[in-house]
Amino acid sequence: MSETDTHFVPHSSHWGSFRVRAVDEDTIEVRPHELDTEPSPIIQNAVDSVRHRARIDRPYVRRGWLEGTPREGDARRGVDEYVPLEWTEAERLLSAEVRRVYDEHGPTGVFGGSYGWSSAGRFHHAQSQVHRFLNSVGGYVRSVTTYSLGAGMVIVPRVAGDKYNVIYGGSTWTDLITSGELMLCFGGISTKNAAVNPGGPTSHIARQSVRDLGAAGVDLVNVSPIRSDLDDAPSQWVPVRPGTDVALMLGLAFELIRVGRVDREFLASHTTGYEKFEPYVLGTTDGVAKTAEWAAEICDIPAETIVALAGEIAQKKTFICVAPSLQRAEHGEQPIWMGITLAAMLGGIGLPGEGFGIGLGSMGYFGNQPNLYKSPSLPQGVNACDDFIPVARIADMLLNPGTEYDFNGERKTYPDIKLVYWAGGNPFHHHQDLFRLHDAFQRPDTVVVHDAFWTSTAKHADFVFPATMTLERVDIASAANEPNMIAMKPALAPFAEAKDDYDIFAALAGHLGVEDVFTEGRTSAEWVEHLYGLWRERLHAAGQDCPSFDEFWEHGSAEVPLEREPLSWLHEFRADPVANPLDTPSGRLEIFSDTIASFGYDDCAGHSTWMEPEEWLGGELADSYPLALISNQPAGRLHSQLDMGSASQVTKSKGRELLTIHPDDAARRILVDGDTVRVSSPRESSFLATVRVSDVVRDGVVQVATGAWFDPDFAERTCRHGNPNAVTMDRGTSKLGQGCIGQLCLVEVERIDGPVPDSHPHVPPRGASREAARK
Ligand SMILES: Nc1nc2c(c(=O)[nH]1)N[C@H]1C(S)=C(S)[C@@H](COP(=O)(O)OP(=O)(O)OC[C@H]3O[C@@H](n4cnc5c(=O)[nH]c(N)nc54)[C@H](O)[C@@H]3O)O[C@H]1N2
Ligand SMILES: Nc1nc2c(c(=O)[nH]1)N[C@H]1C(S)=C(S)[C@@H](COP(=O)(O)OP(=O)(O)OC[C@H]3O[C@@H](n4cnc5c(=O)[nH]c(N)nc54)[C@H](O)[C@@H]3O)O[C@H]1N2
Ligand SMILES: [Mo]
């Protein structure tokens, strides 16, 4: 099963299953998988990437590290040259350094959070591999929550209990199509995002589901600064100012109270604290009534529209959906809490087609029926270290060891990190204010990165180890809420000297005397079969039939049992809140949370609150930076992955990411399609982009997708390629959630006249081979 195949073999990625064939030893051909009814064009990115010159061909060490230049404060990470190493020498050098750091500093000196999506296989999942390795050696400082839902993952358990129910169980497409009447979608239903499901989707049903909603006569309301965030079916567009949705929801809440359409019975039986919230809406506590006129001023939506919308949601069965993007912003906890509060005031929570949900259209799994059994996964072992950071506080941690900070009711202290180990993530794509991250990455003694490509993160590492791509190894793809598991068969031999992360870690574990703990005596092929076997046992224990591994492998896919019952968030709680309480202190939905109030935070009160962000169109900074930048997910790729591929490249122009700007804002700056612009921020940093003038964005708003590979000019503090994180803010959502606020910030845009620097993001650094790959 390890040999490559000249026929089309099944394979998978986070953006869909496909079939792949080796045309010759360096070239592949990809076609959609027959199980997929609406395949994503992103599958084509593999073709140009698999032998791209940005592949890492062998192990490298950074010259400055090798020469032992002062490691602390060494400002050469990110610009230094690299020295090729033989595998054995690389393993020897790194394992000695790992040993030194553990001996001198223990596991609190090692950061192994290693956030990132990696690739789709269940066994080779790089983050699981690095965690298992570091646990075998002695433990590590981990990270909690995600860049996706940092604020959401903290606020939801506090106010609604079990986050699984809210995040994965909001509602299903089927329920909404059958029973829904009106969907109020904050951030739209951007189905280009549903192309993706971590672990490997086998079908793409989101677009068709939205078309079906339209055909079923469900009213769709797209509350978003971008019209195309809901365009698979006709919808009403409410072009809200970025970052102001809470004010809009409060305006709606005021109207519901004014016209007497609040479901007070539901509030009395299923929630707690409404009596402390209503005076805030009415303005008795702070002297400001949150009327439609008040909201109109903040959101830049006419008061009549808000009044009319309140009338509609009061009349019809309403489902309120909040995209995760809204909580990747200052005070990101609030839109989720306020969305739950508004849905509770309407009283439909727990009924089919009504209530509240997060993220429909944002990811393949939302809206699908859940799996009955957990997907196969690699056990990560036990972490001997209990220290952690909220994931998006990485630069704060590296820059401020020993400093105290707040998180979710705890007072914590940043550890003093000496060794950073990253595999399967790209912080120089995903983190905010990348020039600050560049400074932070100078601090540790040693940075280790495994990747298949010379990403900007790899170019900030001391040790760079070449990982194989999924196309070069055997694995299983399986995602949440997906009806199939795919046998991922290799199409090509490993590139140059690349190795599987597993084999790299196994060799290092050997040098460190823990090989047996890490490998348990299995080869990677044996592990794949073993993990499948564990999944099969789960099914057998429940009396379900399941093919043997050999049958699965031969067939290329296996059916995954899904929940059959229609789901509706909290239907059991709704039916009997006493017998089925929520996992909150009161057992109910907490419209006021005594726990959160007891933390005494100045940026998160006891109930959801409108707080002015620092960077928004209504604030003072907008005088100098008058445009709100939205950096949302890219249509042509997953984050930064395979950016050199054709599906990603067609979304760019003149070698840079596209910046969409409204015709009025473009006219004011004398900009036309194809102009090169500098997008600058209050952080005295900027990125370059190519202009696209379009009224899909509201005025005052510009949009650029995330994920263009960071191509920094450190002297100019600019990214030549168009990575928005060159300018975003590196702060937590609040002391409660400490989530990432990458989605929104203020910028100014100006045309660059005269010579413009070229961007060459996908090239190896100095000292690394640029010849080995054929393309
Ligand atoms: N401004 C702004 N920034 C954002 C966001 C935003 O909305 N706005 N969104 C955020 C969100 S939601 C997320 S989830 C993050 C995503 O951030 P990441 O998950 O870090 O982004 P990816 O590009 O998926 O990075 C995965 C890396 O793993 C590598 N890789 C793939 N397979 C393997 C493997 O088998 N082994 C090894 N060793 N490496 C492998 C890939 O080449 C790639 O470099 O970005 C966040 N950043
Ligand atoms: N093709 C593709 N799909 C992806 C990904 C990818 O990289 N590529 N990444 C995946 C990941 S990791 C995640 S977490 C999800 C993220 O899913 P989301 O967070 O839903 O995705 P985004 O595209 O960042 O944002 C959706 C829309 O929210 C709108 N928006 C932004 N700010 C505001 C605001 O203040 N108010 C309102 N009302 N709307 C606002 C924007 O117009 C934006 O287009 O996407 C996943 N899907
Ligand atoms: Mo994400």
pLDDT tens for 332-365 read 999 999 999 999 999 999 999 999 999 999 999 8
Q: Is the CB of 148 under 6 A from ligand 1?
A: yes
Provide CB contacts within 8 A for 143, sequence distance 6+.
Answer: 113, 114, 115, 388, 389, 390, 391, 394
pLDDT tens for 616-645 read 999 999 999 999 999 999 999 999 999 999
Average pLDDT over residues 307-331: 98
Please report the pLDDT score of residue 566 as a whole number.
59
What does DSSP assign to residue 570? T
Q: How far apart are CA 284 and CA 292, in angstroms?
A: 16
Q: How far apart are CA 417 and CA 440, in angstroms?
A: 11
Pocket probe for ligand 1: among 193, 706, 710, 731, the residue whose CB has the most ligand atoms within 8 Å is: 706
Ligand whose nearest atom lies closest to the CA of 504: 1
Pocket probe for ligand 2: among 13, 186, 325, 615, the residue whose CB has the most ligand atoms within 8 Å is: 325
The Å distance, Cα 579 to ligand 2 centre, comes to: 37
Q: How far apart are CA 53 and CA 49, in angstroms?
A: 8
The Å distance, Cα 50 to ligand 2 centre, comes to: 27
Average pLDDT over residues 652-669: 98
Average pLDDT over residues 382-403: 98
Q: Is the CB of 175 under 6 A from ligand 1?
A: no
What does DSSP assign to residue 592? B
Q: Is it the case that residue 70 has pLDDT exceeding 60?
A: no
Ligand whose nearest atom lies closest to the CA of 494: 1
pLDDT tens for 694-717 read 999 999 999 999 999 999 999 999
Please report the pLDDT score of residue 163 as a whole number.
65
SS (H, E, C) 63-82: HHHHCCCCCCCCCCCCCCCE
Please report the pLDDT score of residue 30 as a whole number.
97
- Would you tell me how many other CB atoms lie within 10 Å of the CB of residue 617? 24
User: Which sign does the torsion angle of CA 545, 548, 551, 552 carry?
Assistant: positive
Q: How far, in whole angstroms, is CA 78 from its chain's centroid? A: 24
Residue located nearest, by CA, to atom 15 of ligand 1: 430
Tokens of 126: 């790089």
Tokens of 62: 């950074």
pLDDT tens for 510-546 read 999 999 999 999 999 999 999 999 999 999 999 999 9
Please report the pLDDT score of residue 4 as a whole number.
44
What does DSSP assign to residue 468? P
Which has more pLDDT, 165 or 338? 338
Please report the pLDDT score of residue 6 as a whole number.
57
Please report the pLDDT score of residue 75 as a whole number.
65
Kindly provide the b/e burial profile for residues 395-431, where b requires at least 16 CB atoms within 10 angstroms of the residue's own CB: bbbbbbeeeebbbbeeebebbbbbbbbbbbbbbbbbb
Tokens of 243: 């970052």
- Would you tell me how many other CB atoms lie within 10 Å of the CB of residue 305? 17
What residues sit around ligand 3, an ion, with C-beta below 5 angstroms? 148
Which uninterrupted H or E stretch holds 136? helix 126-137
Q: Is the CB of 424 under 6 A from ligand 1?
A: yes
pLDDT tens for 596-615 read 999 999 999 999 999 999 99
Residue located nearest, by CA, to atom 26 of ligand 1: 425
Question: Mean pLDDT score of the chain, rounded to an integer?
Answer: 95
Ligand whose nearest atom lies closest to the CA of 740: 1
Q: Is it the case that residue 164 has pLDDT exceeding 80?
A: no
Q: Is it the case that residue 450 has pLDDT exceeding 90?
A: yes
Single-letter amino acid, residue 542: A
Residue located nearest, by CA, to atom 27 of ligand 1: 425
Please report the pLDDT score of residue 201 as a whole number.
94
Average pLDDT over residues 135-149: 97
The Å distance, Cα 639 to ligand 1 centre, comes to: 5
SS (H, E, C) 638-673: ECCECCCCHHHHCCEECCEEEEEECHHHHHHCCCCC
**Greatest Cα pair distance in the chain:** 75
Residue located nearest, by CA, to atom 3 of ligand 2: 193
Tokens of 31: 């076609």
Strands (E) across 224-262 are located at 236-238
The Å distance, Cα 51 to ligand 2 centre, comes to: 30
If we measure between CA atoms, which residue out of 388, 507, 499, 398 comes closest to residue 77? 398
Q: Is it the case that residue 557 has pLDDT exceeding 60?
A: yes
pLDDT tens for 174-212 read 999 999 999 999 999 999 999 999 999 998 999 999 999
Give the CA dihedral 278, 283, 288, 291, nearest 10 degrees. Answer: 60
Please report the pLDDT score of residue 769 as a whole number.
84
Q: Is the CB of 426 under 6 A from ligand 1?
A: yes
SS (H, E, C) 385-443: CCCEEEHHHHHHHHHCCCCEEEECCEEEECCCCCEEEEECCCHHHHCCCHHHHHHHCCC
Please report the pLDDT score of residue 214 as a whole number.
98
List, by residue number, the catalytic residues: 115, 117
Query: Using alpha carbons only, what angle is made at residue 68 by residues 67 and 71, rounded to the nearest 5 degrees?
Result: 135
pLDDT band at 667 (very low <50, low <70, confident <90, very high): very high
The Å distance, Cα 103 to ligand 1 centre, comes to: 31
Please report the pLDDT score of residue 5 as a whole number.
45
Please report the pLDDT score of residue 595 as a whole number.
98
Q: Is it the case that residue 17 has pLDDT exceeding 60?
A: yes
Average pLDDT over residues 662-681: 98
Please report the pLDDT score of residue 2 as a whole number.
41
What are the structural domains of the chain? Answer: 3-39 (no CATH), 60-147+383-559 (3.40.50.740), 160-368+591-599 (3.40.228.10), 620-751 (2.40.40.20)
Please report the pLDDT score of residue 555 as a whole number.
97
Cα-Cα end-to-end distance for the chain:
28
Residue located nearest, by CA, to atom 29 of ligand 1: 424
Q: How far apart are CA 683 and CA 727, in angstroms?
A: 6
Using CB distances shorter than 6 Å, the residues near ligand 2 are 148, 186-188, 190, 192-193, 195-196, 223-226, 229, 240, 242-243, 245, 323-326, 329, 359, 362-363, 630, 632-635, 638-639, 743-744
Q: 632 φ, ψ to 5°?
A: -105, -175
Average pLDDT over residues 418-438: 98
Average pLDDT over residues 649-665: 98
- Percent of the chain at pLDDT > 90 equals 92
Single-letter amino acid, residue 603: D
Rg (CA), the chain: 26
Provide CB contacts within 8 A for 523, sequence distance 6+.
Answer: none
Tokens of 321: 């959906």
Q: 22 φ, ψ to 5°?
A: -80, 120
Q: Which atom from ligand 1 is nearest to the alpha carbon of 324?
A: 12
Residue located nearest, by CA, to atom 13 of ligand 2: 148
Q: Are strands 701-705 and 656-661 parallel, antiparallel or unpaired?
A: antiparallel
- Residue entry with tokens 């529209």: 305
- Residue entry with tokens 């190896």: 764
Q: Is the CB of 124 under 6 A from ligand 1?
A: yes
The Å distance, Cα 620 to ligand 3 centre, comes to: 30
Pocket probe for ligand 2: among 43, 186, 193, 228, the residue whose CB has the most ligand atoms within 8 Å is: 193
β partners of residue 389: 143
Query: Using alpha carbons only, what angle is made at residue 470 by residues 468 and 475, rounded to the nearest 5 degrees?
Result: 120
The Å distance, Cα 184 to ligand 2 centre, comes to: 16
Give helix 292-299 / helix 303-315 axis angle, nearest 10°.
120
Provide CB contacts within 8 A for 264, sequence distance 6+.
Answer: none
Residue located nearest, by CA, to atom 27 of ligand 2: 187
- Residue entry with tokens 């969409």: 660
SS (H, E, C) 354-386: CEEEECCCCCCCCCCCCECCCCCCCCCCCCCCC
Q: Is the CB of 220 under 6 A from ligand 1?
A: no
Is 606 within 8 Å of 273 (Cβ atoms)? yes
Q: How far apart are CA 664 and CA 379, in angstroms?
A: 54
Which has more pLDDT, 561 or 249? 249
pLDDT band at 72 (very low <50, low <70, confident <90, very high): low
Query: Residues for the chain: how many in total?
Result: 775
Which uninterrupted H or E stretch holds 755? none
The Å distance, Cα 362 to ligand 2 centre, comes to: 6
Q: How far apart are CA 706 and CA 380, in angstroms?
A: 30
Q: Which atom from ligand 1 is nearest to the alpha carbon of 328?
A: 7
Provide CB contacts within 8 A for 755, sequence distance 6+.
Answer: none
Q: 322 φ, ψ to 5°?
A: -115, 125
3-state secondary structure of 603: coil
Range name among 57-71, 330-344, 667-681 with the lowest pLDDT average: 57-71
User: Which sign does the torsion angle of CA 137, 457, 426, 472 carry?
Assistant: negative
Distances (CA, A) of 575 to 181, 725, 728: 21, 46, 44
Q: How far apart are CA 724 and CA 640, in angstroms?
A: 12
